[in-house]
């Protein structure tokens, strides 16, 4: 019996993860797969010819800067929460949400710039891909802003602190993913345009 107990005591502990964090990671993997499939389809379709050449909207450079700044501000929020610096936590979340909304407004202006170049959703596949890439990313970013607002409300109710970080950690992970996804899409479009 003692040998059996020694074996159990010496056994490695399985890795554990909060179930909601695990679900978030599954969701992120599925989004990665969708965008990987779409960028692959873009390359295949582009190689077939009949591909409209147009300039990427300059606003993409600004929105890329905005998304990088938003990643910095949400990381600042996370560090503040770990130190129970509630004012910085709330301010960082508010700044991140405002930067997220600014990004979405910038994406709207990018669509206006595309229309100004006679690039539409319907017509040439090059334009269709551009609208699908930016629109699908914008949809996910809207969900990220909603998540940020939920976390901001939790922080205003003092539910986020150094002993209760799970909700904030999930929000930070999702937000950084969205930022990285946009930077990937932008670089992909720059290199394959």
* Cα angle for residues 152, 154, 160 (degrees, 5° grid): 100
Answer whether residue 122 shows pLDDT above 70: yes
Q: Is the pLDDT of residue 175 over 50?
A: yes
pTM for this model (two decimals): 0.89
- Judge whether residue 65 has pLDDT over 90: yes
Residue 48 in this model has a pLDDT that exceeds 70: yes
State the pLDDT at residue 2. Answer: 46
> Could you tell me which of 191, 91, 105, 109 has the C-alpha nearest to residue 148?
91
Segment 10-36 shows an average pLDDT of 86
pLDDT of 6 reads 47
Model pLDDT, residue 5 = 47
Cβ atoms of residues 179 and 67 within 8 Å:
yes
Q: Which of 1-5, 41-45, 112-116, 141-145 has the lowest mean pLDDT?
A: 1-5
Q: Give me the pLDDT at residue 17, please.
A: 80
pLDDT computed for residue 9 by the predictor: 56
Mean predicted lDDT score pLDDT of the chain? 92
Please determine, for residue 24, whether its predicted confidence score (pLDDT) is greater than 50: yes
Q: What is the pLDDT of residue 18?
A: 84
């Amino acid at each position: 019996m003692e040998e059996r107990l020694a074996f159990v005591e010496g056994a490695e502990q399985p890795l554990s993860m909060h179930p909601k964090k695990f679900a978030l990671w599954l969701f992120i993997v599925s989004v990665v797969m969708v965008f990987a499939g779409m960028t692959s389809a873009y390359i295949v379709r582009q190689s077939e010819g009949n591909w409209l050449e147009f300039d990427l909207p300059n606003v993409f450079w600004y929105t890329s800067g905005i998304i990088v700044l938003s990643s910095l501000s949400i990381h600042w929020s996370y560090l503040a929460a770990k130190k129970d610096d509630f004012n910085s936590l709330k301010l960082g979340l508010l700044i991140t949400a405002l930067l997220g909304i600014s990004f979405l407004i910038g994406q709207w202006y990018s669509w206006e710039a595309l229309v100004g170049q006679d690039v539409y959703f319907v017509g040439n596949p090059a334009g269709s891909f551009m609208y699908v890439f930016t629109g699908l990313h914008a949809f996910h970013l809207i969900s990220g802003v909603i998540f940020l607002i939920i976390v901001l409300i939790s922080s205003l109710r003092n539910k986020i602190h150094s002993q209760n970080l799970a909700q904030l950690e999930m929000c930070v992970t999702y937000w950084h993913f969205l930022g990285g996804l946009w930077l990937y899409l932008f670089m992909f479009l720059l290199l394959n345009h």
